[in-house]
């Protein structure tokens, strides 16, 4: 019996070693990471009308000369140049930007730079080791090492990665990389006291650039994994990541109505209402769905198409007649088109189904009846 236990423990030890070896085989040293990305991180020089120079860092996203950096680096620029050691690239064009997320995309005609390897910001964990490559104070392509301290949301609702890699003037817009040398974020200026430094998740950059995520660089990964990753992102309220991954899944499984519903929900949360309507409509083409009618109605309401919203809410109620949320929303839509009697009726039904709404809706019902009385006169 003792021999058997020793044999089992020996096997366990062997398999554990194999597992650890498999997990670390594709991880790189800091030296290897630097060598991998040195030709993918550049200096961004932005000149304003007064000739003032603002310097940041940038990351090469593809082989067509697309470079990402922080919007604040170039926001006042009338001329932008890219520098990479002795190479100088002029006539840099602004392709598009997102000021709230502090991302700007630049286009150059130079095709000699190396695109960074794309990573994913979805599966990051607190405590994970990361590396930042940028040009602080003009010291080109300096590398620093740190860990992820946490995940934050700023006052604009923008998600940020908090880390301990130092980000000083000139580093903004540089590359933040995982231990495989894959891009997981863009460095962004923040509070430098107390080691508070931040990065913009790479999913936000890829979404703006309309670049497909190459998270499945390994051909052995099944496309079905995108659905699972998208579901996790949706549950974590990372709606941008969810939208991207469900889109990737739909490319392979274009008839899966569940994927269209989930992507539609993510787009609704991102306030991309027209795109969300398209997804919910695809679901409804395959059969009635109270949830899809409800959320498509919410999209129409947000676009101030109140009559279409009422139509969808009504169809949702046919499927789910005891859902007080639908009556609540239809009441507001009816009120907006001056169907005051119907609004009062919907809100009363909401109270009947959920008395917790009584305090809020009693005054609304009274107002609707007063407006109805004015109509009668």
DSSP labels, 266-296: HHHHTT-HHHHHHHHHHHHHTS--HHHHHHH
- Confidence at residue 28, expressed as pLDDT on a 0 to 100 scale: 93
- Confidence at residue 255, expressed as pLDDT on a 0 to 100 scale: 84
- As a whole number of angstroms, the distance between CA 65 and CA 43 comes to 14
Domains of the chain: 35-107 (2.40.10.10), 129-209 (2.40.10.10)
**Helical residues (DSSP H) of the chain, grouped into ranges:** 2-24, 30-37, 71-74, 202-209, 225-235, 239-252, 257-269, 273-285, 290-302, 306-319, 324-336, 340-353, 358-376
pLDDT in tens for each of the 377 residues of the chain?
Answer: 334 343 344 444 444 444 444 445 578 999 999 999 999 999 999 999 988 999 999 999 988 889 999 999 998 899 999 999 988 998 899 999 989 889 999 999 888 889 999 888 877 889 999 999 999 877 899 999 999 999 888 777 778 999 998 888 888 999 999 999 999 999 986 555 556 899 999 888 888 887 644 444 443 345 667 887 788 888 888 899 889 889 988 988 888 888 999 999 999 999 999 999 999 999 999 887 889 999 999 999 999 999 999 999 999 999 999 999 999 999 999 999 999 999 999 999 999 999 999 999 999 999 999 999 888 76
- As a whole number of angstroms, the distance between CA 111 and CA 109 comes to 6
Cβ burial 183-199 (10 Å sphere, 16+ → b, else e): bbbbbbbbeeeeeebbb
- As a whole number of angstroms, the distance between CA 59 and CA 80 comes to 15
Beta pairing partners, 159: 153
Residue 45 in tokens = 């020089």
Beta pairing partners, 147: 129
CA distances from 172 to 28, 93, 155, 333 (A): 24, 19, 19, 45
Pick from 176, 159, 177, 156: which is nearest to 167 by CA?
A: 176
- Report CA 376 to chain centroid distance, whole Å: 50
Q: Is the pTM of this model over 0.75?
A: no
Residues 6+ apart with CB under 8 A from 225: 216
- As a whole number of angstroms, the distance between CA 87 and CA 84 comes to 5
Indicate the SS3 state at residue 147: strand
Residue 253 in tokens = 């499984």
Residue 167 in tokens = 């980000």
- Confidence at residue 252, expressed as pLDDT on a 0 to 100 scale: 84
Residues 6+ apart with CB under 8 A from 359: none
Residues 6+ apart with CB under 8 A from 60: 39, 40, 41, 42, 66, 67, 113, 114, 115, 116
- Confidence at residue 216, expressed as pLDDT on a 0 to 100 scale: 40
């Amino acid at each position: 019996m003792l021999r058997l236990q020793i044999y089992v423990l020996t096997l366990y030890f062997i398999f554990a070693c194999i597992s650890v070896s498999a997990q670390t085989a594709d991880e790189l040293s800091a030296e290897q990471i630097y060598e991998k990305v040195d030709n993918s991180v550049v200096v961004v020089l932005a000149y304003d009308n007064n000739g003032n120079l603002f310097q940041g860092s940038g990351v090469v996203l593809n082989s067509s000369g697309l470079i990402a950096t922080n919007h604040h680096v170039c926001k006042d620029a009338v001329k932008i140049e890219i520098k990479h050691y002795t190479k100088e690239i002029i006539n840099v064009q602004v392709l598009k930007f997102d000021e709230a997320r502090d991302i700007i995309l630049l286009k150059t005609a130079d095709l000699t730079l190396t695109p960074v390897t794309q990573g994913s910001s979805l599966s990051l964990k607190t405590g994970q080791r990361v590396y930042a490559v940028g040009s602080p104070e003009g010291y080109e392509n300096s590398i620093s090492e740190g860990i992820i301290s946490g995940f934050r949301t700023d006052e604009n609702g923008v998600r940020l990665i908090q880390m301990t890699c130092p980000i000083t003037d000139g580093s903004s817009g540089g590359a933040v990389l995982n231990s495989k040398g894959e891009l997981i974020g863009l460095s962004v200026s923040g509070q430098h006291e107390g080691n508070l430094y931040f990065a913009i998740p790479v999913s936000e950059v890829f979404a703006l650039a309309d670049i497909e995520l190459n998270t499945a660089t390994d051909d052995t990964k099944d496309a079905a994994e995108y659905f699972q990753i998208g579901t996790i992102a949706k549950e974590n309220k990372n709606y941008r990541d969810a939208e991207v991954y469900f889109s990737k899944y739909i490319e392979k499984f274009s008839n899966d109505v569940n994927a269209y519903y989930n992507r539609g929900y993510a787009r609704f949360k991102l306030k991309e209402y027209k795109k969300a309507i398209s997804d919910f409509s695809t679901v409804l083409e395959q059969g009635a769905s109270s949830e899809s009618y409800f959320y498509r109605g919410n999209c129409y309401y947000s676009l101030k198409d109140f009559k279409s919203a009422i139509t969808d809410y009504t169809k949702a109620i046919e499927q789910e007649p005891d859902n007080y949320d639908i009556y609540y929303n239809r009441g507001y839509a009816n009120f907006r088109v001056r169907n005051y009697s119907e609004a009062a009726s919907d809100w009363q039904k909401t109270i009947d189904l959920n008395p917790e709404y009584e305090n809020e809706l009693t005054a609304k019902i009274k107002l609707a009846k007063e407006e109805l009385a004015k109509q009668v006169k």
